[in-house]
Structure 1
């Protein structure tokens, strides 16, 4: 069997692996780098949206981790991966071939705030997003534009993400999101106002005794079926890599030097 040809890396690029299905992504050494949030979101979307079939849309795809995991590790259908930043989109496009996902992941370049100019409305059965989560005026903005755009709401905010999801979804379609736990009331309110009715909520904790740092939510367009709150998802434990058994099962045991690049900030 012919070994795949490794990609040519730029001087500020790394090739990083994640998950149990050999997903590889291209990232800048000094730019925004994916966190464990992407893995948890992909698993949550695959689990809670398991009944859906048809094309999916990722809003703010970044390096493509969520899209690649959805099709390669969780065996879901095709994904349109929308990314705003041209340089990030270019790396995503290169990674499509690297992961042999040409027929499953379609990179799209564009601004989700102008979603109506990019895709027809009401055609996706599932929308996923790990959007910028820090309020634009919160804390010190990163001097790196790519990192600032990926982490802070300088180019889009939660209302924009919710509106784009509402527009893209078929009636009864689902949206899966991950956000900081402190924003749960805000995001659930935005979803409900848009008639994207929350059906599943799960909080993420660094350790059993620690407060929640993130939450995962799944909502349905125009279908109010009540809200189920799942048991807490605990990240760290005694399994390989220092993870809990549930999280360790989602990825190969990481090397010490790569573990730091995927762990979320939980403190």
Structure 2
């Protein structure tokens, strides 16, 4: 990797996350990763009973989830699918910067055309931290990169579930994070695609606060019942003002909240 490619550009920052020293490039004034990416990587890793195997990330963005899975949690290899060329370019630079070329493969492509991107049934797990906001909810950001990353303008939850279904081997797992208010919708879409929810965990900013997010893992074609984990509480008396569980995932702590 050339010296120039390993340094942030004038409109970029180089940010560290996780206990394994993962570094990613982000646009200074664009969409930036949040705690959701860290929680998803940890959830996917800790809830995966079958161990290693090829993983697909849908909507990889800056690469946080993919890089954490291989560097912090020892999983993979990972194919990291990203639709935006400029974001994909930063992802590719981050893979090289983290010396993960043999473990993370950046793929430029649209998950809505998943059959053109990857081999069907080729993955033991799919992970995605997808756009959260429905396309007609609120004012769309004038910045295309931010809009595509935050709102369902390039794909929606149904597209994400369909892509995961196609990519997974029988018995394979899909792990997702979504706003808590969309739990019924997303669980219904998974069930309709015979991706049977097996683990569910709600994320709360504080013990007394309502849930803001949920993490769900579903299994292709094998309905063996649903386990609801204890709530994941983000803030507490641990380092950085986080709960002990969340603080253990990050060094340095994130400035953004769940």
TM-score of Structure 1 vs Structure 2, range by shorter chain: over 0.9
Query: Following TM superposition, by how much is the alpha carbon of 1:54 offset from its aligned partner in structure 2, in angstroms?
Result: 1.3
Counterparts of 1:246-257 in structure 2, within 5 Å, are: 246-254=245-253
Aligned residues: 256
| 2:77 aligned partner | 78
Counterparts of 1:112-191 in structure 2, within 5 Å, are: 112-191=111-190
Q: Deviations along 1:39-86, whole A, 9 cap, x unmatched?
A: 000000001114243100000000000000000000112000000000
TM-score, normalised relative to structure 2? 0.97
Looking at structure 2, the residues matched to 88 and 247 of structure 1 have their Cα atoms a distance apart, in angstroms, of 27
Query: Following TM superposition, by how much is the alpha carbon of 1:253 offset from its aligned partner in structure 2, in angstroms?
Result: 3.8
4+ residue segments displaced more than 3 Å: none
- Structure 1, gaps ≥5 residues long: none
| 1:90 aligned partner | 89
Give secondary structure in 1 for the equivalent of 2:188.
helix
2:7 touches 2:14 (CA, 8 Å); kept in 1?
A: no
Looking at structure 2, the residues matched to 99 and 253 of structure 1 have their Cα atoms a distance apart, in angstroms, of 17
| 1:242 aligned partner | 241
Give secondary structure in 2 for the equivalent of 1:171.
strand
Q: Deviations along 1:165-219, whole A, 9 cap, x unmatched?
A: 0000000000000000000000000000000000000000000000000000000
Most deviating of 228-237 and 48-57: 48-57
| 2:228 aligned partner | 229
| 2:25 aligned partner | 26
1:240 touches 1:253 (CA, 8 Å); kept in 2?
A: no
Q: Is 1:12–2:11 an aligned residue pair? A: yes
Give secondary structure in 1 for the equivalent of 2:235.
coil
Could you say what the CA RMSD is over the residues aligned between the two structures, in angstroms? Answer: 1.2
2:25 touches 2:90 (CA, 8 Å); kept in 1?
A: yes
Query: Following TM superposition, by how much is the alpha carbon of 1:106 offset from its aligned partner in structure 2, in angstroms?
Result: 0.0
TM-score, normalised relative to structure 1? 0.94
2:206 touches 2:236 (CA, 8 Å); kept in 1?
A: yes
Q: Is 1:57–2:56 an aligned residue pair? A: yes
1:60 touches 1:82 (CA, 8 Å); kept in 2?
A: yes
Looking at structure 1, the residues matched to 188 and 243 of structure 2 have their Cα atoms a distance apart, in angstroms, of 31
| 1:215 aligned partner | 214
- Structure 2, gaps ≥5 residues long: none
Most deviating of 190-199 and 4-13: 4-13
Looking at structure 1, the residues matched to 251 and 211 of structure 2 have their Cα atoms a distance apart, in angstroms, of 25
